[in-house]
């Protein structure tokens, strides 16, 4: 497909984080952009302000006229959209050029040197850290991010001079297999998306295939202890770790004034006096992976230090909404048991002695069914739990699967099942928490502002 011959791009599911970055990319090329999404969000409003035409009903009649011309029009869809979606079916029946989001990203990435960041968790923060380091160095980069960078208030970063493009490599629906990166980071391979892969073994095989697609002469940065599969002799492999000695690892980790301070040992030098202004021990680990990649690309020590100190994070990744002596409110996208565990442990480390209350919205029936025990173990690290009903996303209900199967296994005594629509009223009826975390990948973020408002009201009365 020759993107230069494309004049109009229509997105089925334009409001997704990955789809919106592609929409912004085509807008930057002065292409006409339009699309459908199920609901209006801040992201779709921003896209409209940037020039996109968006509607929220699955209706062929709402497709703008110029996007009905088969010549020069590309249709992009996300696997999260049902295959019987009316508009998508109409485009297929009319014979339009139709590509998955991952296919288009793969086409774009092949025009540059792709730096892909993959993993069950950690990939959004790590890729955003890496992009921020490169932006603060002489290397620079383009980037398609899986979250909104708080430094740039965007999920798309562009450069007119850099040959590199940082890409969050999503394993869902095997999307990352569309990529042939120059270099890659793999943060984790914990079981997930078993509705797609069937077994953990198949899940790992997909990561091994992704790793095998690194270009000859490239390199892999992988968390120590993970099995990378069969690596080409032309691809160099480097390990990183938070706790163990590896090719890249931190030492002298200390918390001072709410920030992590540490050194990073590399194969050639020790980068001293790194200050990470972004909370969470997991993010020290993520920063080591980003530092490893940036170092291998010859970013200077000074640019690494400067970038990490100024790194503000990613929207909905350990994002502070209230931070006072008596009340802390954090929102986090974590939706896998390991992510929850790291988030809760990090909060307890940052605020020792404080009571930690968590509100968790499970994401997907299949993930809840497959990982109920693991979810319960992680959530039992809380002092108090408010557990919401499952956000179904793309799935139909599975008989016998509800939040109850997690709730029954949670070991703490202070736990509550709560319907989403009752959440604000419930919080209003409870004592003011010391530390509150909202966690989940569904629509729990829609409740962050109402929760913040009611907490501030209680705090000031």
**Percent residues over pLDDT 70 in the chain:** 100
The full length of the chain comes to 461
Confidence of residue 11 (pLDDT cuts 50, 70, 90): very high
pLDDT at 61: 97
Q: Supply the DSSP string of 203-223, one letter for each residue.
A: HHHHHHHHHHTSPTT-EEEEE
- Cα-flanking dihedrals φ and ψ of residue 435, to 5°? -135, 125
Mean pLDDT, range 328-346, rounded to an integer = 89
- pLDDT tens profile 402-419: 999 999 999 999 999 999
CATH of segment(s) 319-459: 3.90.190.20
Q: How far is residue 168's CA from residue 116's CA, in Å, rounded to a whole number?
A: 6
Integer angstrom CA distances of residue 161 from 112, 141, 142, 362: 11, 8, 9, 42
CB 300 within 8 A of CB 133: no
pLDDT at 335 over 90: no
Q: How far is residue 308's CA from residue 305's CA, in Å, rounded to a whole number?
A: 6
Mean pLDDT, range 279-308, rounded to an integer = 94
Q: Where are the domains of the chain?
A: 3-100, 112-310, 319-459
Confidence of residue 1 (pLDDT cuts 50, 70, 90): low
- pLDDT tens profile 88-125: 999 999 999 999 999 999 999 888 999 999 998 889 99
Topology adopted by domain 3-100? Rossmann fold (3.40.50)
Report the relative pairing of strands 328-332 and 319-323 from DSSP bridges: antiparallel
pLDDT at 35 over 80: yes
pTM across the whole model: 0.81
Integer angstrom CA distances of residue 35 from 4, 50, 56, 93, 173: 20, 13, 9, 18, 22
pLDDT at 190 over 90: no
Superfamily grouping for domain 112-310 = Mur-like, catalytic domain (3.40.1190.10)
Q: What's the mean per-residue pLDDT of the chain?
A: 93
Highest mean pLDDT among 17-21, 79-83, 173-177, 218-222: 218-222
């Amino acid at each position: 497909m020759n993107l230069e011959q494309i004049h109009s791009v229509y997105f089925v599911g334009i409001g997704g984080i990955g789809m919106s970055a592609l929409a912004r990319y085509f807008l930057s090329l002065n292409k006409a952009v339009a699309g459908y999404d199920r609901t209006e969000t801040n992201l779709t409003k921003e896209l409209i302000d940037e020039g996109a035409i968006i509607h929220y009903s699955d209706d062929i009649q709402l497709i703008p006229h110029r996007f009905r011309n088969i010549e020069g029009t590309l249709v992009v869809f996300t696997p999260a959209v049902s295959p019987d979606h009316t508009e998508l079916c109409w485009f297929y029946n009319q014979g339009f050029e139709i590509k998955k989001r991952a296919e288009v990203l793969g086409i774009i990435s092949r025009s540059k040197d792709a730096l892909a960041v993959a993993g069950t968790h950690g990939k959004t923060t790590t890729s955003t850290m890496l992009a921020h380091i490169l932006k603060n160095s002489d290397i620079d980069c383009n980037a398609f991010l899986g979250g909104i960078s708080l430094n740039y208030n965007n999920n798309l970063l562009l450069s007119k001079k850099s040959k590199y493009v940082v890409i969050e490599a999503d394993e869902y629906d095997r999307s990352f297999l569309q990529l042939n990166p120059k270099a890659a980071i793999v943060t984790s391979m914990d079981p997930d998306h078993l509705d797609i892969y069937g077994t953990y073994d198949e899940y790992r095989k997909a990561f091994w295939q992704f790793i095998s697609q690194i270009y000859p002469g490239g390199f892999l940065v992988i968390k120590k202890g993970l099995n990378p599969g069969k690596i080409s002799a032309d691809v160099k492999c480097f390990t990183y770790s938070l706790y163990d000695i590896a090719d890249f690892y931190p030492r002298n980790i200390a918390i001072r004034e709410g920030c992590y301070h540490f050194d990073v040992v590399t194969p050639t030098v020790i980068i001293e006096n790194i200050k990470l202004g972004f909370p969470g021990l997991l993010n020290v680990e993520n920063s080591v992976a980003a530092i490893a990649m940036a170092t291998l690309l010859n970013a200077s020590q000074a640019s690494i230090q400067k970038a990490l100190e100024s790194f503000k994070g990613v929207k909905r990744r350990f994002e502070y909404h209230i931070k006072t002596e008596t009340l802390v409110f954090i929102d986090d996208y974590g939706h896998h048991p390991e992510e929850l565990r790291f988030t809760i442990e990090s909060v307890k480390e940052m605020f020792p002695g404080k009571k930690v209350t968590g509100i968790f919205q499970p994401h997907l029936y299949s993930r809840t069914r497959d990982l109920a025990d693991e979810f319960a173990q992680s959530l039992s690290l809380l002092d108090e739990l408010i557990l919401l009903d499952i956000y179904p996303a793309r799935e139909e209900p599975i008989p016998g699967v509800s939040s109850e199967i997690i709730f029954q296994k949670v070991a703490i005594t202070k736990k509550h099942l709560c319907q989403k629509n009752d959440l604000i009223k419930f919080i209003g009826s409870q004592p003011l928490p010391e530390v509150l975390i909202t966690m989940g990948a569904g629509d729990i973020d829609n409740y962050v502002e109402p929760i913040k408002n009611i907490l501030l009201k209680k705090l000031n009365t």
